[in-house]
Structure 1
Amino acid sequence: MSSPKSLSAGSPAQSPDRLEETDATHPTNTQIPYNEDDDVDSAIGDNDSIASSTASLTDSIYDYRSIHGRTFQSSKTTEYWGPNDDKQNNGLDISHHFITRIKGDRLFLAPIGDAPSKVLDVGTGTGIWAIDMADTYPSTEVIGTDISPIQPAWVPPNCAFHIDDAQLEWTFSAKTFDFVHIRALYGCIGDWTELYRQAYKVLVPGGWLEDFEMNIHLHSDLPEIRDDPDHVFKQWAKVFLEAMDRIGKTGRIAMGSNMRKHMEKAGFVDIVEKSFQVPCGAWSSDPRLKEVGLYNLVFLDESLEGFALFLLKQIMGWEYVEIQVLVAKMRSAIRDAKIRPYYLVTNVYARKPEESTD
């Protein structure tokens, strides 16, 4: 992102959980098939066509702060960088669809069995995963937690939502849940080992934890983009990682084997890690990945401004017009199907040992 404000100005605070960064080596697309001769449009859809593709709490919980018309949770206990308004929530629900498709039309990959008793969804967001889980397993009690009360009131009878901060001491009793699910908390957690330890504590012996996280660095295999240190994909990742470092969080959890390492430290065993290359745009020749790419593009297009506002304005000190220029450049790049943009996501699941006494 070319901006009049230096990306390295100032000295960013060191994250208390400074994770391994293994993004220096550019990946190569090995998972997303495409046809070289496909006549793809340079931009998949304009604003109208993309839009058409989307189809008892205390008063303090609803204390939102507004940044240029977008609302953000004004939490007393944690700093969350994403908006909680309808526009951003729409993007979250769209991402749920393509993430489920990536997983083979499954809500999870962990071998939790056919009849889990209790399931916890940490950082539930709009609650869409928890609701789908409750619908799929009607005899399972599903609880979703989040710092923002954006979940619907009408939910399956076996689904409930609690306002709770995952970075504080969890209030659930030990050995309560058969399965703990986490998704997309990148940039939100100060101590990932502690987060996984909390999950370990509330799981029954033999219970499973699963976490799905995104790498915020987009890629293209085209040499003119891959080898350009100033391309908007690299500039976007650089400034976001720095901003997250400054608030004591990290955007690097999906890089390398960071998730696996923290789960091992927390005591988990039988850890299974899988990375996926996710297309941005409908440029793949594979029908399923073409659909994934379209929904991913809609998710990003819907979410870019929301991603940028708090971190770049409040943390990095950018002017609003600078943010809009960056977002416009990023939006143009992700819509360009000819460069075949994609990024990496990592899914890790792990088991609490049967003999555990914690």
Structure 2
Amino acid sequence: MATPTHTTAEVDPTQAPAVVVGQDVEEDQPQDMDSLFGDRAGSSTTSLTQSIMEYRELHGRTYHNLGDTYYWGPNDEKQNEQLDIGHHMLTMLLDNKLFLAPISSNPQNVLDVGTGTGIWAIDFADAFPSSQVTGTDLSPIQPSFIPPNLKFEIDDAQMDWTFAPDSFDYVHMRCLMGSIRDWQRLYGQVYNCTKPGGYIESMEMDIQFLSDDGTVKEGDVMYDWSTLFIESGEQIGQTFKIPRIAKSLIEAAGFVDVVETKYKLPVGPWMEDPKWKDLGRWNLLYLDEGLEGMVMFVLLKIMGWSYEEMAVYVGNMRKALRSSKNHGYYEIVVVYGRKPEFKVV
């Protein structure tokens, strides 16, 4: 995303309460549920600041409130528990590593885009005390007790970045599918703010449930669940298909030596190999824990379903996920690339 800039909310005490990561916030619960996300003018810091604390409620779940920025997942405690389960699962997937990119052993400046609960950034900061880690997210849901070399900032990564060009050794992002309108612009902003020789790494879930033995196929609830998500993303211009095109977009942004690694992550303990059987158990827990939160906004606010229809569908999906007859999986795609040391002419 021109020299990119990055917008970080700076609190104006005359405009909004102070944002302190880890501090309890008062949730706004409007009666008008037809407008889940309020209006926000342009990309001004003031409007971003005013909307930070104004969470919106949908059937007891709270959501980010950033105007024209749609994020389909809740930001409440239940959903955050799912995110932490997902972190454990994805770390296991990478053989107990936090990343795949061949970064240096003493990185200095690291950015975690869409940090969520901040758990990846905390683990990275602990593992690399030489680094200064910044985690950014739409909501202040991160803990206050963190390593001294870590800070969290409230930020919409889709706005213009104000980080200095060539400032990060490593930029990490994970599970942003369905939440970004212009991935090419985002990767371009990462490129401009990455040091020559530094790395980007993007890990995304391909949400299409599949099977190799025909137990999950078109017409089955697990397969069609994914189709609903993908259709909703196309409707609002925030694709869930990013795992399939991330490599080409990262290359188009200017990164070189781009490597793509794909994993088939099973749902449930149906595989024989101990590692994958264990991962399947964790994945089933991850999906079961977050099922309602994952689909509520998609079905009610984008696809126009009633709450009752959604509840029945969630029940059918949960039954399918737990069935030992279904040998389903979805792909995790990790892409990393290096910014050239010299400008490519």
Give the TM-score of the pair, scaled to structure 1. 0.81
TM-superposed CA distance for 1:89, in Å, is 0.6
Check if 1:345 corresponds to 2:336: no
User: Is residue 215–residue 327 contact of structure 2 (8 Å, CA) maintained in 1?
Assistant: no
Q: Contact 1:222–1:339 at 8 Å: present in 2 too?
A: no
Asked whether the equivalents of residues 215 and 325 of structure 2 are also in contact (C-alpha less than 8 Å), the reply is: no
Contact 1:218 1:233 (8 Å CA) reproduced: yes
Contact 1:127 1:144 in 2 (8 A): yes
Aligned residues: 299
How far has the Cα of 1:224 moved from its partner? 5.1
- Counterpart Cα distance in 2 of 1:225 and 1:289: 18
In structure 1, runs of 5+ residues without a counterpart are 1-55
Match of 2:187 in 1: 196
Question: Equivalents in 2 of 1:117, 1:254: separation in Å?
Answer: 28
1:329 equivalent among 286, 304, 316:
316
1:78 partnered with 2:65: no
SS of the residue corresponding to residue 218 of structure 1 reads: strand
C-alpha contact (below 8 Å) 1:77/1:165 kept by paired residues: no
Per-residue CA deviations over 1:206-242 (Å, capped at 9, x if unaligned) read: 100000000111123333543xx31112211121111
Percent identical across equivalent pairs?
Answer: 49
Contact 2:264/2:330 (8 A) holds in 1: yes
Query: Relative to 1, partners in 2 of residues 1:291 and 1:224: Cα closer, same or farther, differing over 3 Å?
Result: closer
Write out aligned runs for 1:240-319 (5 A): 240-255=229-244, 258-319=245-306
Q: Say if 2:157 is the partner of 1:170.
A: no
TM-score with structure 2 setting the length: 0.84
Matches within 5 A, 1:55-94: 56-57=18-19, 60-94=51-85
Partners of 2:157 and 2:149 in 1: how far apart? 22
How far apart, in 1, do the equivalents of 2:341 and 2:170 lie? 14
Whole-angstrom CA distance in 2 between matches of 1:224 and 1:279: 13
- Give 1:357 deviation, angstroms: 8.3
Q: Distance in 1 between matches of 2:215 and 2:130?
A: 54
1:22-101 equivalence runs, <5 A? 56-57=18-19, 60-101=51-92
Secondary structure in 2 matching 1:272: strand
SS of 1:254's partner is: helix
Deviation at 1:332, TM superposition (A): 0.9
Q: 5+ unaligned residues in a row in structure 2: which ranges?
A: 1-17, 20-48
User: Can you list the C-alpha shifts for 1:244-289, whole angstroms capped at 9, x where unaligned?
Assistant: 111111010112xx11110111011000001000011122222222
Q: CA deviation at 1:76?
A: 3.0
Q: Residues 194 and 315 of structure 1: is their aligned pair in 2 closer, same or farther, counting only changes over 3 Å? A: same
Which residue number in structure 1 is paired with residue 143 of structure 2?
152
1-structure distance, mates of 2:146, 2:130: 14
Residue identity matched to 2:109: K
Distance in 2, Cα, partners of 1:99 & 1:223: 26
Q: Distance in 1 between matches of 2:340 and 2:215?
A: 48
CA distance in 2, matches of 1:337, 1:181: 35
> Equivalent of 1:235, from 195, 201, 224?
224
Q: 1:26 is matched with which residue?
A: none
In 2, Cα distance between equivalents of 1:286 and 1:305 = 30
CA distance in 1, matches of 2:215, 2:132: 51
Give the whole-Å Cα distance in 1 for the aligned partners of 2:214 and 2:241.
24
| Alpha-carbon distance between aligned partners in 1 of 2:155 and 2:68, rounded to the nearest angstrom | 10
Tell me the secondary structure at the aligned position of residue 210 of structure 2.
coil
8 Å CA contact 2:215, 2:326 repeated in 1:
no
The farther-off stretch of 335-344 and 194-203 is 335-344
CA RMSD of aligned residues (A): 1.5
Provide, for residues 270-311 of structure 1, a one-character-per-residue CA deviation record: whole Å limited to 9, x for no partner: 000010000111222222222211111111001111111111
Report SS of the residue matched to 1:205: strand
How big is the shift at 1:315?
1.0
Partner amino acid, structure 2, of 1:183: R
Name the amino acid aligned to 2:337.
Answer: A
**1:216 corresponds to which residue?**
207
Check the 8 A contact 1:207/1:352 in 2, yes or no.
yes
CA distance in 2, matches of 1:247, 1:310: 12
1:142 aligns with 2:133: yes
Aligned to 1:9: none
AA aligned opposite 1:323: M
Describe the superposition over 1:163-194 as per-residue Cα deviations: whole angstroms up to 9, x where unpaired. Answer: 01110111111011000001000001111111
Pair 1:120 & 2:111 matched: yes
Moved more, 73-82 or 179-188: 73-82
Distance (Å, rounded) in 2 between the aligned partners of 1:124 and 1:224: 35
SS in 1 for 2:126: helix
Listed one character per residue, the Cα deviations across residues 124-156 of structure 1 (whole Å, up to 9, x for unaligned) are 001000000000011210000011111111100
